[in-house]
Structure 1
């Protein structure tokens, strides 16, 4: 797949502007929106390509809210696409942050202002649940339900009880996946 000519810059800009405007809850909450726009609406990437970008994005330092648009923009429209996507996703955040902080500092004691923030949490929870179910389905189809469940349980224990950073676990799984074909080729030649 080439990194240029696949997505018009205008469509890329408005797609990531929309994501930036609707991405309440920060970077992780934006992931389902990015998937909906990039995979389902515009078909710039397949589900597998999106999952790969998400995995790689989680292993790198920095906010996922800029890493994913940057890489997707580069992937579908080259270097200029990267710049357009990152600018489009952060511009609404910057403008909204300035506006909301101004309003919040002035009206922070008003009940409905406090309620706005609390009302968004269940919506983000549902979006993250949908993304989790989508990834479970893809994992189950690719690896089988036993291997998927074992990887999920092991990862959960390592993250929540042992305290290992998720990026390290994803990185280890990527290395294992890269080495696995080499091991299979080596076994086949023996």
Structure 2
């Protein structure tokens, strides 16, 4: 009985490492266009395929990761691996994610000049760009929908306009904007309850 449990535990452990490696390897080999374009792929692996976390938690992790220095994709890969299997999982996740790019860079180094001038490669790049744009738009819509459900229409639209103003017009660093909204989010429920109490008092009066 103990032997069966030990074998079952080892099999589950191995399966967990295999899941981390295959998920991060897929995001590394299929991701195109930099870190932000890979985020929807990582989200699909973590939330939809393997169900390591809920969509809301992934949104929170993504917000924190965006506020920290370094490439977003490798930070997410490291966090997911660590969340599942500690330091070993984090190491495996990062290595599996960056391995395809490293191998491709080394293997294709001698063809850089050809790739930079080839009309075929330029056409391939141009064809992929709309796909990446749609993936980012879908993810942004889903996160926006959840924000509206949690904050309400007025607050959701208001915060969108404020963030757009800070980022695009005033050129405030994204990390500062994220920290500001995280700070507000910590007190949102309390402020909302106070506002409802004031409304009730006003109606009763």
For 1:184 and 1:121, the matched residues in 2 are separated by 41
CA separation of 1:172 and 1:111: change in aligned 2, threshold 3 A = same
CA distance in structure 2 between the aligned counterparts of 1:9 and 1:144, rounded to whole angstroms:
40
Q: Considering only aligned residues, what root-mean-square deviation do their CA atoms show, in Å?
A: 2.3
Partner residue, 1:44: 52
- TM-score, normalised with respect to structure 1: 0.88
Structure number with greater Rg is 2
Matched, 1:32 2:40: yes
| TM-score, normalization by structure 2 | 0.81
> How far off its partner does 1:45 sit?
0.7
Which residue of structure 2 aligns with residue 171 of structure 1? 179
**Total equivalences in the alignment:** 183
Alpha-carbon distance in 2 for matches of 1:139, 1:179: 15
- Cα distance in 2 for partners of 1:47, 1:184 equals 23
Query: How far apart in 1 are the matches of 2:37 and 2:116?
Result: 24
Tell me whether 1:72 sits opposite 2:69 in the alignment.
no
Whether the 8 Å contact between 1:104 and 1:113 is mirrored in structure 2 is no
Describe the superposition over 1:94-146 as per-residue Cα deviations: whole angstroms up to 9, x where unpaired: 11223344323234322102212222211110111111111111111111122
Displacement after TM superposition at 1:155 (Å): 0.2
- 1:152–1:10 Cα change, 3 Å: same
Return closer, same or farther for 1:109/1:184 CA change in 2, 3 Å cut-off: closer
Correspondence 1:144 to 2:152 = yes
Offset of residue 179 of structure 1: 4.5
- Larger fraction in helix: 2
Shift of 1:51: 0.5
CA shift in 2, pair 1:154/1:15, >3 Å:
same
Instruction: Tell me, in whole angstroms, the C-alpha distance in 2 between the residues paired with 1:107 and 1:35.
Output: 30
Instruction: Provide the C-alpha distance between the structure 2 equivalents of 1:23 and 1:153, rounded to a whole number of angstroms.
Output: 30
Q: Indicate how the Cα distance of structure 1 residues 184 and 108 shifts in structure 2: closer, same or farther if over 3 A, else same.
A: closer
Give the unaligned 5+ runs of structure 1.
none
Compared CA separation, residues 13 and 178, structure 1 to 2 (3 A): same
- Following superposition, the deviation at residue 72 of structure 1 comes to 1.4
